[in-house]
Amino acid sequence: MQNDTQDIKQHPEKQAEHLIGELRQHYAAYLEKNHQHEQSNKSFGKLFEKWFRGSSSHAMDSMHEDFLNGIDRIVGELIIPLQQLQQDAPDLCCDLAEQAVSRMVAPKVPKNTAKSTAEWFMTVAEYKCSPLLPFLRLEALERFRGQMFEVSRRLMFPKEREFFDQFEEVLKAKRAQE
């Protein structure tokens, strides 16, 4: 196990692939925990039990907070091998960054459907992909722009608008390069 960890750290491609796998597992674990929490709250008796006990939603809040903190950590760690690969293998770097951002793009809910708490937190996590944007190809950026931003800028939430501006800045720089 020790040798595997050292081998991964010595090879930026393996390190990036490992972190992307960790990102996928992190999302899967979050969705599973959220599903289990929702299922446990569906019974009528559970609702009364929580009401009588006056239990707080601290466990639920920490689950969401842990999810976002995990995203920050994984993205922060992923930048290091991507920077190395950008010099040595730029196409591979773009492909790996695209895999990570693809996972982070939140599923879009139809406008007349309410978002679940998990969907809102996955939308927040989507904004955390901004450090990965410079590693993407222009075509991928344009495709993600269409997937991520479905409303006009003036209808966006403040954080969404901030992310949109960062996204547009990277997109403008990529267009100028080509």
- List, as one string, the DSSP characters of 35-69: HHHHHHT-SHHHHHHHHHHT--SHHHHHHHHHHHH
**What is the per-residue pLDDT for 141?**
97
Q: Which residue has the higher pLDDT, 6 or 44?
A: 6
Residue in 150, 148, 177, 176 with CA at minimum distance from that of residue 163: 148
**Model confidence at 55: pLDDT above 60:** no
Of the pLDDT bands very low, low, confident and very high (cuts 50, 70, 90), residue 52 is very low
Rounded mean pLDDT, 102-131? 87
Average per-residue pLDDT in the chain? 86
Least confident range from 89-103, 128-142, 150-164: namely: 150-164
Burial class of 37 by CB neighbour count within 10 A (0 to 12, 13 to 18, 19+): middle
Residue in 36, 55, 41, 23 with CA at minimum distance from that of residue 126: 23
Residue 144 and residue 101 in contact, taking contact as beta carbons nearer than 8 Å: yes
Can you give the pTM of this predicted structure? 0.84
Amino acid identity of 85? L
